[in-house]
Amino acid sequence: MSKIVFPPSLKKGDRIAVISPAGMVQKEQLEKGLSIIEDNGYEAVLGRNLYTSYKFGYQYAGTEEERTADMNWALNSADISAVWTSRGGYGCQHLLPHLEISEFLKKPKWYIGYSDNTAIQSYLLRKGVASIHAQTLKTSGFGVSDLGYSLTVDILQGKIPDYEIESTKYNHGGKANGILVGGNLALIYALLGTPYSFDFADKILFIEEIGEKYYALDRMLMALELAGVFKKIKGLIIGGMTLMEEEAENQNYEDSFDDFSYQLISNRITKYKFPAIFGFPNGHIHDNRPLIIGAQVSMAVGDNVIVNQNR
């Protein structure tokens, strides 16, 4: 892969498009997120279908055509400097065959989201453009830390965060360098074998997940193994595993680093020699700190864990 393009930094007064590429969102769920954009000196420009509702087996933010139109508008408009998604959910895969980003590639801009947005971020990386795997603008549910938002704004302003976190008993020690790929495991799994899948060769892979049964988690891990992903990557970073196995009402979002999920993952990768970080603060969790998909990442796993992100 040729050198990954990092979109330019924003300046005060720049316009940030806010769109809903997947699940439906309500106005009150975005009040705090939109105020963060405005409070940092930017203008939030709302997509036409930001609050649209369309039910067809799932509560989408509009039809496939409506959501695609908002995405293509946001990515290609010359007066838009970044795209910040309202939420994930389900539906980003619908958009992939219909994206047209010729103007975006002439003037790349930061795309911010996580969860189902992993599908879009994989697409953008295949086009050679980095994106920010970070908190969406929806703040209801498990809550969002102010730190996660402020670090995301730092990236928009050209300041790339590095991280040092405590080690865990599941970590696999060592050092590795490579371009960061990944995001939500269900989407990584769903894109395998398609033209939109990540290229895993010599990469650092990041995964996180929410609301899956343990057998489903293992099924996705097995798919990655059978596809040869674990033979190709140079390192693995595991974020939140939230509300796993049990129904949501039997757990709370503070139990985001599910112990048995980590046991499953650790067991699945034992035969491989790459270093692995467990408990990284990114995912469907309160302390959701941004990672840059497409960044050149160096990871060192020992008594402490260091993750550095570079262009």
Q: Is 284 a catalytic residue?
A: yes
Q: Is 115 a catalytic residue?
A: yes
Sign of the alpha-carbon torsion through 217, 220, 222, 224:
negative
**Separation of alpha carbons 62 and 66, rounded Å:** 6
Query: Which pairs count as long-range contacts for 174-177, CB under 8 Å and 24+ apart, including other chains?
Result: 174/235, 174/273, 174/274, 174/275, 174/301, 175/275, 175/298, 175/299, 175/300, 175/301, 176/204, 176/234, 176/235, 176/274, 176/275, 176/298, 176/299, 177/204, 177/234, 177/296, 177/297, 177/298, 177/299
How many Cβ atoms from other residues are within 10 Å of residue 26's Cβ?
A: 12
Region of 62 (left: φ > 0; alpha: ψ -120 to 50; beta: rest) is left
Catalytic one among 81, 115, 122, 256?
Answer: 115
**Separation of alpha carbons 207 and 200, rounded Å:** 13
Catalytic one among 20, 261, 284, 286?
Answer: 284
Q: Is 150 a catalytic residue?
A: no
Catalytic one among 208, 209, 212, 261?
Answer: 208
Question: Hey, which residues are catalytic here?
Answer: 115, 208, 284
